[in-house]
Amino acid sequence: MQIVNARQSLLEIETKLTNQGEHSVPDVVQKVQAQLLKKITLEVAKLDAAIAAMIKATAHFVELAEIIESVPGLGKGTSAGLIAGMPELGQVSNEVAAALLGVAPYDDDSGKRKGERQIKGGRRRVRNLFYMACMGAATRHNPVLKAFYDRLIAKGKLEKVAIVACMRKLIVILNIMISRGETWDPSRYALS
């Protein structure tokens, strides 16, 4: 878990430096930022190797990674993040899995007033990691999620709302797949 968190922290720093580099800064600052970015890339590669070795050394982690990575659009980084950040996956109810990720819709009702549903809580780092993976899966790489995403957009949902709905759907699917020990089967999760 600590190695995955350290990797995520380095990636956050890399993003900040990259975003700062988009603005006009003195040459000396650009050089320092370029050196830091190069160093971060090397350190992330070392952490990736350490994470891969840890997963490879544990049979249960190998099985989990195989199941998670069988889903189109999810790769090694996402599987490592889910293995480390949500060890309960496959052992809890679908509602709890969504709540742990922070994509469960909570109501905001009071008396006769019916408020808008909102997500809250959960594990921020895992949610951020899963958001990025799900965005690629739902918009490009996973035909099942793409069909679900397109249907939500056609109904008038905002893009971000549709992505969060896809995240919830996918974490529930992963929870079921892991509990059953099954790899991805597109026919099982296709929209009817």
Q: Per-residue confidence at 191, pLDDT binned at 50, 70, 90?
A: low
Give dist(CA 150, CA 86) in Å, integer. Answer: 28
Give dist(CA 63, CA 183) in Å, integer. Answer: 10
pLDDT tens-digit profile of 49-97? 999 999 999 999 999 999 999 999 999 999 999 999 999 999 999 999 9
Average pLDDT, the chain: 90
Sequence-separated (6 or more) residues with CB below 8 Å from residue 69:
75, 76, 78, 79
Distance from CA of residue 110 to its chain's centroid? 33
pLDDT tens-digit profile of 141-179? 999 999 999 999 999 999 999 999 999 999 999 999 999
- pLDDT at res. 68: 96
Extract the tokens encoding 39.
Answer: 């160093």
- pLDDT at res. 19: 87
Interior CA angle at 54 toward 53 and 55, to 5°? 90
Q: What is the mean pLDDT of residues 110-127?
A: 83
Q: pTM value?
A: 0.84
Structural domain boundaries in the chain:
92-192
Under 8 Å between Cβ of 76 and 52: yes
pLDDT tens-digit profile of 123-143? 988 999 999 999 999 999 999
